[in-house]
Structures are given as C-alpha cells and as structure tokens.
Amino acid sequence: MNILFIHLGNQCECLCSSNIIKLLSNKYKNTNITVIVKSKEAEHIYKYNNNVNKIFVINKVPSEIIKKEYDLLVNLHPDFSFDDYFIVNAKEKLGFHFSEYTKKYEEILYKNKKTNKNIFQIYFSLCNLVWKGEGYDFRYYPKTKNRHGVTGLLIANSNLKIYIIDKLNLNLSKIYNIPIRKNIFKKMDEINKCPNIITDDFFSLNCAMNLRKSVFFLETIPFNFSIELFGKGKVFKVPREIVR
C-alpha cells in the first residue's frame, strides 16, 4: 500500500495530525508511507517515526516521487493543490480539496468559523475517519528525566506571570522557567523535566500532552475548536486586559 501523506503546515499542525500516520499503518498491510512537508522544522516531526519510509521538503521532492503511482493520497493542508504544485496519481484522494466539507474545516483551522470538535477530530474527519481518543505518533525519547514536584512555566507573554501566581496554587511546587526552544527535540527535553506545565503556547501544550504531562493552558486568544487535554489538565481563559 503506497501512501503519499502531505502536510504543508507548521510543526504544531504536523504534530497534531501525526496520529493519522499510525492509524493508516495499522489499517493497511505492508504500507509504504512517503511524507511531504513545508520545512525542515516540520520534517523533524516524522524523523524517528518507524511508520514513515521517506520524508521530503516540498521544494526538494525528486521527480520519481512525483511521478510514482500511489494507492492513497492524504493532503492535510489547503496550501497544497495540483494547480500550485504538482499532480499526484493516486487511486484514492483524501483531505483538503478532495474530501467532503474541506472548505468548512479550512475556515475553522485558518479563519473564523467555530466548532465543538477538537483539532484531532477535524483532521480525522478530513480523512473520513472517526477519532477515538488517539494521541500523537511522535517518536522521540527525551534526554532529561522528570523532576518530582516541579512546575514548568513556558510563557510567551510576560504579563501573564502575575496572573498565574494569583490564580493557580503553586505554593507546594518548585517553579522552573522553561526556556523557549525552536528545535522540537530540545523543547521536549526541557518540558520533560517537569510533571506539571503551565503555558500559553498551543504548540508547547501539545508537546507536553505528548509527554503525558499535566497541563494548565492559558487561552489568551479564543480558539475556533475545542482544546483537548486528554483528561490531564485545565484550560484557563485569560482576560484580554491581562495580556495587553
């Protein structure tokens, strides 16, 4: 089963849809999965995934990959289209521009349309699949160890620290200010030091959930979809005047 999996989104979007790779690998026998991404950073999401056979950045895809015949094409970002890039010869095509309601999900993920679904349910719906609580399929083992009783702060907005101290009970926990890392592997190493994470960054939230941390997510801007915490954490809606 030759599958071409295309996602031209950022690292966070690729991480949130990575569970589809595992599901496809389990659903079909003898899968050969080729992944195409937008950047080297997004490529890191699939680097250690045993279910992925080949990974390419979109502007460096060799001609033999483009000309190959596939059993299934999955496109999880609206930026990829046959008109803008290249035509894929596939027996079945799913995702943006191919599945039902793709315009609706594009408006949810990138515009202003609201839904009660979470981001996993959205990606699964694009693939005509039903989400049953599957987590991430990101294969990396952090080089750091968990420190008992430590709460990690990974805050992009400096005005939130006073708000955090007032609203959350941190008296029984040591505080570790997690440095912001662009490299996802270093980011995972830092997050893994703490059993509890407080963050206002959606990517960091998902990295922490992948490591099965308890997460307090500070929602500084309204999301169009439901925030999934897998039963380990809580969402705090931060008043606008706090983050100004």
Q: Does 92 lie in the same domain as 36?
A: yes
| Cα–Cα distance, 124 to 134 (Å, whole number) | 10
State the maximum Cα–Cα separation within the chain, in Å, rounded to a whole number. 60
- Residue 135 domain-assigned (yes or no): no
Q: Mind listing the pLDDT tens digit for each residue in 96-145?
A: 999 888 999 999 999 999 999 999 999 999 999 999 999 999 999 999 99
Angle, helices 119-126 vs 19-27, to 10°: value is 40
Q: Does 156 lie in the same domain as 85?
A: no
The confidence band for 170, taking pLDDT boundaries of 50, 70 and 90, is: low
| Cα–Cα distance, 203 to 141 (Å, whole number) | 18
Residue 54's DSSP bridge partners are 34
**Does residue 15 register a pLDDT over 70?**
yes
Q: Does 7 lie in the same domain as 120?
A: yes
Q: Does 103 lie in the same domain as 13?
A: yes
Which single residue is written with the structure tokens 């979809």? Answer: 225
Q: Mean pLDDT across the stretch 46-63?
A: 96
Report phi then psi at 112, rounded to 5.
-120, 10
Beta-carbon contacts of 19 under 8 Å, excluding residues fewer than 6 positions away, are: 120, 134, 135, 136, 137
Strands (E), 64-220: 69-75, 89-95, 150-154, 174-177, 196-199, 214-219
Average pLDDT of the chain? 92
- Cβ atoms of 40 and 57 within 8 Å: the answer is yes
Task: Please report the pLDDT score of residue 172 as a whole number.
Answer: 52
Q: Which residues of 158-188 are buried (b: 16+ CB within 10 A; e: fewer)?
A: eebeebbeeebeeeebeebebeebeebeebb
- Residue 132 domain-assigned (yes or no): no
- Residue 142 domain-assigned (yes or no): no
Q: Mind listing the pLDDT tens digit for each residue in 202-238?
A: 999 999 999 999 999 999 989 999 999 999 999 988 8
Split into its structural domains, the chain has a count of 2
Final residue in a domain of this structure, among 76, 91, 126: 126
- Cβ atoms of 171 and 195 within 8 Å: the answer is no
Strands (E), 109-170: 150-154
- Residue 15 domain-assigned (yes or no): yes
- Residue 77 domain-assigned (yes or no): yes
- Residue 134 domain-assigned (yes or no): no
Q: Mean pLDDT across the stretch 133-161?
A: 88
Q: Does 106 lie in the same domain as 42?
A: yes
Final residue in a domain of this structure, among 110, 126, 142: 126
Q: Does 174 lie in the same domain as 101?
A: no
pTM more than 0.75: yes
| Cα–Cα distance, 108 to 20 (Å, whole number) | 19
Q: Does 119 lie in the same domain as 14?
A: yes
Q: Does 155 lie in the same domain as 110?
A: no
CATH of the domain at 77: 3.40.50.2000
Final residue in a domain of this structure, among 67, 94, 126: 126
**Does residue 240 register a pLDDT over 90?**
no
Range of the domain at 186: 150-243
Q: Does 120 lie in the same domain as 10?
A: yes
Q: Does 120 lie in the same domain as 155?
A: no
Q: What number of other Cβ atoms are within 10 A of residue 40's Cβ?
A: 9
Q: Mind listing the pLDDT tens digit for each residue in 177-195?
A: 899 898 999 999 999 999 9
Q: Mean pLDDT across the stretch 41-56?
A: 95
Q: Does 122 lie in the same domain as 14?
A: yes
Q: Which residues of 55-93 are buried (b: 16+ CB within 10 A; e: fewer)?
A: bbebeebeeeeeeeebebbbbbbbebeeeebeebebeeb
- Cβ atoms of 68 and 89 within 8 Å: the answer is yes
Structure tokens at 157: 């907005």
Q: Does 207 lie in the same domain as 105?
A: no
